[in-house]
Amino acid sequence: MYRSVNVLINDSKHRPPEHFLVEDQMRELISWYNENKTKLHPVELAAVFHHKYTYIHPFIDGNGRSGRLLTNLILMRSGYPICVVKMEDRDEYMNALKKASVNNDYTNFIEIIEKSVDSSLDMYFYIVG
């Protein structure tokens, strides 16, 4: 179930939508995904979807984890490997999410997801020789 209370995100200027708006915004997100899944590059689609999902913050807890799982589902459906945001990149990842939330600028966040996908591809290519 979606959250039934309002929440705040630590260290963020972004205020998630009020709880009574979450269900409609999630419906809008799914519509956005369906409209854009053949228009956007899969990596861009996954990154923007991830941000939009975490921006809504549909649950009290676990939004980042479930957002990353959905990001990887989108990537895998398009034949891409999963992306793993490394701990040493966490600050950059969080700052890029904040920038997208506050300034509606996805550039850095898309680059972080691209970098993570490239890193996964490099590892896969190394393993298969």
Q: How far is CA 36 from the centre of its chain?
A: 15
Query: What letter would DSSP give residue 17?
Result: P
By C-alpha distance, which of 116, 119, 122 is closest to 46?
116
Q: Which residues of 27-41 are buried (b: 16+ CB within 10 A; e: fewer)?
A: eebeeebeeeeeebe
Known catalytic residue at 41: no
Active-site residue, from 14, 19, 50, 57:
57
State the first-to-last Cα distance of the chain, in angstroms, to the nearest integer: 45
Could you tell me which residues come within 8 angstroms of residue 126 by beta carbon, excluding any fewer than 6 positions away? none
Catalytic residues: 57
